Amino acid sequence: MNSRFVSSSLKNENEERFEQSLRPKTFDEVIGREAEKQSLSIMIESAKKRGKALDHIMFHGPPGLGKTTLSYVVASEMNVPIHITSGSAIEKTGDLAAILTSLEPNSILFIDEIHRLKRTIEEILYPAMEDNVLDIVIGKGPSAKTLRLELNQFTIIGATTKLSMISAPLRDRFGMHFRLDFYSDDELTLLVQQKARLLGIEIDDEASLKIAQRSRMTARIAIRILKRVFDLAVVKGEKIINPYLVEETLSMMGVDENGLDELDRAILRSILKNFNNRPVGLNTLAASLSEEPETIELVYEPFLIKKGFDTKNYEG
């Protein structure tokens, strides 16, 4: 076996274990999301008392706000296995059948980017979600037969950044919908301090706040910045993360005092200078930046709008 492949596989496994170690295990460890935690706790307690699987759940909202993390916590609180896949990975009906027939009783199937499921796959999910049965068509034409398989009770947790792209029949089969909004600076400050403890390094309050304020109101980005500051602290032999380490790291990452990175600034400059601050279509803007429209739409635009950046006052 290729030693480079083995090394890469071990590295990926180590990184995955490291990421898992930073994830909360219970609702008490989840920063923020108070309304969601309350509703989910009631659902979980009810399911446990009835000895039934949890109702199907949909998490939607911008990327990096904790949809996957909450799904892991739900499985942990339910004390059931969780199986992870994505909408694009389920290409054939046989793929879905293999997944569903292997699920343990009351277990959770997490489908990331569920809006990317093919319509034929969706239609097979309907009876599975409602009646715990799987209808498989064998053969074609007049000789085709339908084979019905009984499934264990299970829960689907769907996560999506594009709720509108999910068909109404599939969307209506989820018992609860949770829209995850951006984090506040206070919540992100607590989150940064929590992850610093898990990393085994001390961080002062001002440094925590600086990371929070420059993280685009997104937990994933706050954790990513913290890791890079942690790397710099290790290299410099620092025992405590201070504001100077944070500023030096953010400068190297190209993140300014508003939390904008180079593409944020390029978007604002393009609207201001190339299009004279007039309305511009997403595809046109993306073409002017040589960037994918979906990246601008999902990753950059929500933050810029949420923060209320006015290109008339932008001089970056």
Residues annotated as catalytic (active site), given as ranges: 67-68, 112, 161, 220
Structure tokens at 92: 């054939």
Phi, psi of 246 (to 5 degrees): -65, -45
Q: CA 314, CA 316: separation in Å to the nearest integer?
A: 6
Residue with tokens 């209320």: 308
Q: Rounded CA gap, 267 and 304, in Å?
A: 10
Tell me the CA distances in angstroms from 24 to 21, 224, 229, 248, one per residue in order.
8, 16, 21, 29
Instruction: Round to whole Å and give the CA distance between 179 and 85.
Output: 20
At residue 18's C-alpha, the angle toward residues 13 and 19, to 5°, is 100
Give CA–CA dist 24/8, Å, rounded: 27
Distance of alpha carbon 161 from the chain centroid: 8
Amino acid letter for position 213:
Q
